[in-house]
Amino acid sequence: MTSIFNQKYRILACAILFMLCSHVRAATTIDVAGSIDGSGILQVNNNSVSWSNVYQPPPTSLTVNGTQWNPSANPTMNLTGPLLPPDSLSNYFVGTRILAGGDIANAQIVNGKLLIYFDYTHGGADNYHIKVTFRPRPTPVPSPSAALDVSGYIDGSDTLEIRTSGFTWIHNYWSDPIHVSINERPWDTVDDPTLPNSGATAFLPDGVDLSSVVFIKNKGRDTATYQLFPDHIDVYFGDDPDGAGFYDVRLSFGHKPTLFGIRSN
């Protein structure tokens, strides 16, 4: 009897250890540093990273979790993993903390892949240092459906801050955006950078769950990405080429209750 008890105890202890290890893996931090000129996308796989250049020369020296890498010479680098959580990325939110760098650096999960967007639109190069972390998605709660269609011509970089109370446009570099619209309503972001979520611009219903967001980039020649925060969403636009480029993104929200739980719209 004692032997059987000890065996069950060992099995239970192994199960607890596995869960603790899984939790540690889920809390993995991806640390990236280096000089960025223009824009590019870093894809993070479980045991490797790869660089896809968009505009301007690719970086010649990056550090990923302490390992030196020259993406211009070797677009892919193998690393000792795991770099990602043990289960599907769809179960997580991803956050990006910029420790150094003067423009866009943001991680986003796209079609089950972790992509980190870099875009320095200010001219020349800048030294970046970022940390990317994961947090489990909470159990979804019923939420009314809503959609935000945002479009306009971007020259340089801009940020759209979305809260349930309203919307704020922040211009960062180069020329002001033009022909901006939200849900087909023209928006003069220069003279009126803040819109309340009320009256003619009540685009989000009461009780909408911002964490249910689904982000789609429909058009844009450079960077359009988003980050979810506890109380708001930031949408980042970065256009590195000369002149202005047209961008069109859609953010959808909502969860529907079903007979056996919660189903996302």
Please give the tally of structural domains in the chain: 2
pLDDT at 257: 57
Q: Examine the domain organization and report whether 40 and 105 are in the same domain.
A: yes
Strand 62-64 to 104-110 pairing: unpaired
Q: Examine the domain organization and report whether 63 and 170 are in the same domain.
A: no
pLDDT tier at 17 (50, 70, 90 boundaries)? very low
Q: Examine the domain organization and report whether 256 and 228 are in the same domain.
A: yes
pLDDT tier at 141 (50, 70, 90 boundaries)? confident
Q: Domain of residue 221: give its range.
A: 143-264
DSSP 183: T
pLDDT at 221 over 80: yes
pLDDT at 123: 85
Q: Examine the domain organization and report whether 102 and 215 are in the same domain.
A: no
**Percentage of residues of the chain with pLDDT beyond 70:** 86
Q: Examine the domain organization and report whether 86 and 160 are in the same domain.
A: no
Q: Examine the domain organization and report whether 96 and 154 are in the same domain.
A: no
**Domain final residue pick, 116, 136, 156:** 136
Mean pLDDT for the stretch of residues 210-229: 96
pLDDT in tens, 84-121: 999 999 999 999 999 999 999 999 999 999 999 999 99
**Domain final residue pick, 136, 154, 172:** 136
How far is it, in rounded angstroms, from Cα 77 to Cα 64? 10
pLDDT in tens, 19-37: 434 443 444 899 999 999 9
- Asked whether 54 and 240 are in contact (CB, 8 A), the reply is yes
How far is it, in rounded angstroms, from Cα 225 to Cα 105? 9
pLDDT at 245 over 70: yes
pLDDT tier at 256 (50, 70, 90 boundaries)? low
**Percentage of residues of the chain with pLDDT beyond 90:** 80
Q: Examine the domain organization and report whether 157 and 83 are in the same domain.
A: no
Q: Examine the domain organization and report whether 155 and 213 are in the same domain.
A: yes
Beta strand extents in the chain (DSSP E only): 30-44, 48-55, 62-64, 67-69, 76-78, 92-100, 104-110, 113-136, 143-154, 156-163, 166-173, 178-182, 185-186, 194-196, 214-219, 223-228, 233-239, 245-258, 261-264
Mean pLDDT for the stretch of residues 52-64: 94
- Residue 19, classified by CB atoms within 10 Å of its CB into exposed (0-12), middle (13-18) or buried (19+), is exposed
pLDDT at 8: 43
